Amino acid sequence: MKILTVEGKTREEALRKALDELGASEHEVRVKVVEEGEDKVVLEVGIKAEEVKLIKEVIEGFIKSMGTTGGVEVIEREGVYYANIVTGEMDSILIGKSGKNLEAVQHLLARMIHKRNPKIDVVIDIAGYREKRERFLRAKARAFAEEVKRTGIEYIFEPLPPSFRRVIHLELAGKEGVRTYTIGDGDLKKVVIAPRRRR
31 and 81, same structural domain? no
pLDDT the model gives residue 97: 87
135 and 87, same structural domain? no
65 and 123, same structural domain? yes
User: Can you give the residue range of the structural domain that contains 64?
Assistant: 49-127
Burial of 96 (0-12, 13-18, 19+ CB in 10 A): middle
For 100, 162, 170, 189, 190, the CA distances from 166, given in Å and listed in that order, are: 14, 6, 6, 11, 11
Contact between residue 145 and residue 178 where contact means Cβ atoms under 8 Å apart: yes
- Of 127, 159, 179, the residue at which a domain comes to its end is 127
pLDDT the model gives residue 27: 82
76 and 53, same structural domain? yes
54 and 42, same structural domain? no
pLDDT the model gives residue 159: 92
55 and 37, same structural domain? no
What's the rounded Cα separation, in Å, for the pair 98 and 14?
42
99 and 165, same structural domain? no
pLDDT the model gives residue 199: 59
What is the three-class DSSP state of 8?
A: strand
Q: How many domains would you assign to the chain?
A: 3
55 and 42, same structural domain? no
Q: What is the pLDDT of residues 85-120, one digit of tens each?
A: 999 889 999 999 888 899 999 999 999 999 999 989
163 and 120, same structural domain? no
The H-or-E segment that residue 48 falls in is helix 48-65
Burial of 124 (0-12, 13-18, 19+ CB in 10 A): buried
- Of 29, 46, 63, the residue at which a domain comes to its end is 46
pLDDT the model gives residue 1: 64
Residues of the chain with pLDDT under 70: 1, 198-199
As a whole number of Å, the end-to-end CA separation of the chain is 55
115 and 57, same structural domain? yes
151 and 85, same structural domain? no
CATH of the domain at 66: 3.30.300.20
Q: What is the DSSP letter of 75?
A: E
CATH of the domain at 186: 3.30.1370.50
Q: What is the DSSP letter of 88?
A: S
- Of 81, 103, 127, the residue at which a domain comes to its end is 127
What is the three-class DSSP state of 119?
A: coil
Burial of 55 (0-12, 13-18, 19+ CB in 10 A): buried
59 and 42, same structural domain? no
Strand partners, 191: 182
pLDDT the model gives residue 65: 93
